[in-house]
Amino acid sequence: MSKHKLPKQKMSKQQETDCNMGAIVKFIPDYNLDELWGIIIFSEVSLKGNPQKQTKIDGTFTTPIGFEGLKTIDGEYIYTIELFNGDKKVYDLTEPIFNGAAIHGNESKIANLTICGQNSIIGKTVVIKRDEEEIATANIAGLGTFNEI
């Protein structure tokens, strides 16, 4: 990892929490049936006026034919992305990740998830499905402090 420090992002309506860790999950074409490529990055924030910690979700996905391969002609998602803790579905990430197929564009998504603490998402499993068929799985890994990245 690089020892260079990145400037902290300005967060409108969001404040950083005391959790200096991030989380990441990657999907690599060689390891899934539909050759999807994707990355999801999670960072914990707290919204002004709300003491509950939440997680900002950023990421991007593509298929061998580009972003067009994520939705049908009618605009319906071809895939679902779900967060699991063991066999229990914890959160549906489909909308935050595939929304407009440009998640890393203008606006991050906020979810009621935590990175640090007892209910951490680190180590949980993200599953991509097409018509309920499991296409790919990957575990969420922790990132070092953002100041070290």
Distance CA 119, CA 142 (A): 14
Residue reference for tokens 């580009």: 66
Distance CA 135, CA 132 (A): 9
10: three-class secondary structure by DSSP? coil
Domains and CATH numbers, the chain: 14-142 (2.60.40)
pLDDT in tens, 22-38: 899 999 999 998 999 99
Cα atoms in the 13 Å half-sphere on the side-chain side of 114: 11
**What does the angle CA 130 – CA 114 – CA 78 come to, to the nearest 5 degrees?**
15
pLDDT in tens, 79-122: 999 999 999 999 998 877 776 444 444 566 788 888 988 889 99
